[in-house]
Amino acid sequence: MSMQIDYAFPRQVDDIERVKVAIGRFQTNMTKMMLLMKDFGVALESVSQSFRELTSCSFSQNEGVKHYVEAFRAEVSLLKDGSCFKDYNRLVHEAVVQPIEELKKVVKSTEKQKEARERTYKKYQDAKSKVDQIEKEYARKSKPLTSCAKYPQLKKKREGSLQTFQTENETFQASFRALVERVEDMTGRSLREYLHLNGAYMAAVLHCLTACDDSVQGVVARYKAQKLQERRAAVAVECARVDAALRLAPVGRDRSDGVLSDPSSSGPPVVPYATPRVSASGPPPAAVERVASAPVDVVDDHSMASGELSEPLTERQLIVRREEGVPPVYADPACEPINICADMFYA
């Protein structure tokens, strides 16, 4: 029996160490972020106090401004001293920090398996070196190995140590795979929880601002519209690039039915020949500009929740929803994303 060199093991050891370091940095950075969120409330309260001081003069007469400032100060105090930050702090530790902390146990278990593998590997190398030494010595002297009384025992020990090592290696590999899967799963879950918790806290901050001034909602709506506009422009450019690349791919077609003549081809996918064509440089700039500059209708959360949007979504809306992470629902089951991109430019 023999064993090939395992080139993956050193990289696996590096990955284990990398996960350990990442967990330590994660905890440090989460602590910094938590302190920053707390300081945000403190700083915002200080700002509200400064606004109040500006209206505390003896000869201040504008009661409307004073009421405006006091409303802002009251909302900020509620945000800072209420249950909002306390709940945020508690839930981040429970749903984000603690699950990542539990990964340390999995890392430690994998490290023990790694050490056991290394010990058995060293024993195998020692046993193998003794056998190799005898074989080289007897070969140099042109003597048969059968004349060596201890050779069978050393060879048997070498084969036994190899089997032990292979068993430990299989155990380590299973432990390492479990570690990788656990890290990936826990990372995805923790990140989702962290984003949701931060979204809820930022929503509380936004409520603090809009509670004392309704016009802030208009600012938020305009910001959302601007971002949707930018995403549309990015989608238009990307669709142009993909369409141009597809039409440059040298793949044969069966023009009798519009189906690719070589389904097993490893080249890029090509849309059927009946699809309208554009030049290799993509659609005309005017088409991209028309999609990018199309007006964006801002829909409030109430209308979305109440189901007022009963009309079928247009293809442009489908692309925007896709960019926002909303699963696409096509009115026509045969509709495909590539057709959406094409129809945007060939209409």
Q: Per the domain annotation, does 228 fall within a domain?
A: yes
Task: Give the N- to C-terminal CA distance of the chain in Å, as an integer.
Answer: 69
Q: Is 25 helix (H, G, I), strand (E, B) or coil?
A: helix
Phi, psi of 260 (to 5 degrees): -60, 135
CA–CA gap between residue 195 and residue 189 (Å, rounded) = 10
Report how many domains make up the chain. Answer: 1
Residue whose structure tokens are 């209420």: 82
**Cα dihedral 331, 337, 340, 342 sign:** negative
Q: Is 328 helix (H, G, I), strand (E, B) or coil?
A: coil
Q: Per the domain annotation, does 229 fall within a domain?
A: yes
Phi, psi of 253 (to 5 degrees): -130, 150
Q: Per the domain annotation, does 273 fall within a domain?
A: no
Q: Per the domain annotation, does 83 fall within a domain?
A: no
Q: Per the domain annotation, does 233 fall within a domain?
A: yes
Instruction: Extract the residue ranges of the chain whose pLDDT is less than 50.
Output: 1, 254-283, 288, 291, 296, 298-311, 328-347
Q: Cα angle vertex 194, ends 31, 108, to 5°? A: 65
CA–CA gap between residue 289 and residue 302 (Å, rounded) = 31
Three-state SS string over 155-170 comes to: HHHHHHHHHHHHHHHH
Report the DSSP beta bridge partners of residue 253.
260
3-state DSSP helix/strand/coil percent for the chain, to nearest 5?
A: 75, 0, 25
Q: Per the domain annotation, does 331 fall within a domain?
A: no
Q: Per the domain annotation, does 235 fall within a domain?
A: yes
Q: Per the domain annotation, does 240 fall within a domain?
A: yes
Amino acid found at 80? K
Averaged pLDDT of the chain:
78
Domain range enclosing 221: 214-246
Tell which phi-psi region holds residue 24, choosing left (phi > 0), alpha (psi between -120 and 50) or beta.
alpha
Cβ pair 51, 76 in contact under 8 A: no
Q: Is this model's pTM higher than 0.75 or not?
A: no
- Residue 344 has what pLDDT? 38
